[in-house]
Chain A
């Protein structure tokens, strides 16, 4: 934008910048709270009132065993469901972006539907299906549920990334005598891989964080959010803050390193 033309204009500009900064602070308030209280020495069973700074919670991050078990369960579910959903979703994305075919508008619509359905409807309807079919709800049903909402997410995210892809590169490879399989693995796949990885990272986070859909389909399985919710009336241990902080830091590092690798790569290609 051009330079401010009047004092009023510059006041507006700075006002807007300050407002945006304030919104960012608002976004981070609870995050700051979560991280800060991981260093608190709790009084009683609830880590809600600030007492003293301590590193004890960080020395024993796995002290709350039931909580650790729940986190491990969450990570297992997220890993399995993300792998399945990434494969199925990426196939759909390639199919939709690469080809023009009959019925693609209809199939596109079906794909968007799960994202426009409130979680509570998805969760309760799946649970009625499992009840109706006499399927005991547990680990497997949670994985099924997570894959279901991740597929649409992966497919649409990867498709958005693949949209600008230059498909004539495939033609070039085949002109040079590469078989379709070889073309895919040597040309297409490496080019769309960053998009697929980004989508799977985010869908992993979605699975890890899911509460409402999981609540309906978990049976006796306890995931991290389910455990925190169920034990909330009795206790809120500082280990919750510690583990949440670890997950946060690990995700941020993953995201940052992904971006960094991407930047380095494109710089090298630009040379």
Chain B
């Protein structure tokens, strides 16, 4: 994070100062800490929007809450106008962050609270759309008992796919970073290009490539790999489509760039003089790699793991197009319960469990490695 230089404040243009002091000289020396107004106003407005969004406050109270939210914005502007350049500088970040953060409060945080409440609700009748909140924890036991297998498969496939993306993505990133030379930019572009065709259509393309009469099973058959792949359980007889291997393959394919790019970024930062130094001290190439390059590239691997494992564990597109009913995953069950069965409470409970497990994973993970390399 860039730290702003405090000396910057003293050089605010002179006409600015005269504006503020001209309006109200007393206000410029207000005792209230502008940072408190900024942060307090932002948090209060966010909280109020969550309350209104989740309908925890309704009617007149909601109107008051919205008025208060507006009030925090007015307060921010008043402080900025009346305060001196120092106050303005202190309050500026809150003003810059506020619009986007309030959007996230209303459309990210509030929905999660609504989701939690829905997961503890009961549908009044089979055909009702809206559930009534009554602390019904039964939805959670339904989620675990009826969909335990889907949870296991969802996380299992995602884990295997994540490991595969490391195995494929690391060498790719390594070759581009250290042997790409002047073609580095071009090669990186090649990794990004698949992003520009629809994810869904790419997956459909895999369905066609892996189909029983498609090119890949034909090639595998022709080179005689099919009995071997059948023996190790990757293929089912002469089929590869509609097997767990196809689902995992699709996930690996779709998330490979998310792994390769962060690894590349961390490899690129490595100072090659370190490797040369190691070699000067008679370390072999392999040893130099494992003692210097690999540890320094770990932040990229960790960032890539988050960017791959999280979306992969909730994905159902690969399963829908490449799997069979026996390989159904949690994302699919949520989608089915929500959009097809209209069973909001159970769908919400499953969503919430998925989110909770991943949050625990992310918290433990980022305690060790930080989230700095995510972007």
Contacts and interface: CB of A to CB of B under 8 A. Distances in A.
Q: Which of B38, B187, B314 has the most CB of A within 10 A?
A: B314
Contacts of B89: 99
Given A107-B101, A177-B13, A256 B197 contact: no
B196 A247 contact: yes
Contact of B355 (A118, A205, A211): A118
Contacts of B96: 91-92, 94-95
Interface in B195-230: 195-206, 208-209, 211
A125 B347 CA distance: 10
A45 interface: no
Contact of A118 (B199, B339, B358): B358
Contacts of B111: 122, 125-126, 128-129
Contact of B202 (A31, A99, A102, A179): A31
Interface string B13-57: 101100000000000000000011011001100000000011100
Interface string B63-106: 00000000000000000000000000110111111011101100
B100 A155 contact: yes
B197 A127 contact: no
B8 to A, nearest CB: 5
Given A101-B90, A157-B375, A124 B348 contact: yes
Interface in B235-266: 253, 256-257
Interface in A196-232: 205, 208-209, 211-212, 215-216, 224-225, 228-229, 232
B143 interface: no
A240 B208 CA distance: 14
Contacts of A16: 171, 174-175
Nearest to A141: B107
A166 to B, nearest CB: 9
A51 interface: no
A261 interface: no
* Chain B interface residue number, banded: 35 or more
Contact of B198 (A99, A165, A175, A244): A244
B129 A131 contact: yes
Contacts of B101: 92, 107, 110-111
A10 to B, nearest CB: 11
A117 B355 contact: yes
Interface stretch (B134-142, B271-279, B294-302): B271-279
A66 interface: no
Given A121-B351, A179-B16, A216-B338, A17 B175 contact: yes
Contacts of B55: 132-133
B35 A179 contact: no
B350 to A, nearest CB: 9
Nearest to A93: B96
A26 B13 CA distance: 58
A189 interface: no
B201 A132 contact: no
A16 B317 CA distance: 32
A98 B193 CA distance: 32
21 contacts: A1-B272, A2-B276, A23-B168, A92-B100, A98-B92, A104-B93, A107-B97, A118-B315, A120-B315, A120-B334, A122-B108, A126-B111, A127-B338, A132-B55, A163-B1, A170-B8, A175-B11, A209-B199, A212-B331, A228-B204, A252-B196
Interface of A: 1-2, 5, 9, 16-17, 19-20, 23-24, 26-31, 33-34, 37, 48, 87-89, 91-92, 94-104, 107, 110-122, 124-129, 131-133, 144-145, 147-148, 151-152, 155-157, 159-160, 162-163, 165, 167-168, 170-171, 174-175, 177-180, 205, 208-209, 211-212, 215-216, 224-225, 228-229, 232, 236, 240-241, 244-245, 247-248, 251-252, 255-256, 259
Given A165-B2, A174-B11, A244-B201, 5 more contacts: A95-B93, A102-B38, A114-B108, A121-B355, A151-B100
Q: Lowest 10 CB-CB distances: which A-B pairs, in order? A: A118-B314, A95-B96, A156-B375, A30-B205, A125-B111, A88-B100, A20-B175, A251-B196, A99-B93, A125-B115
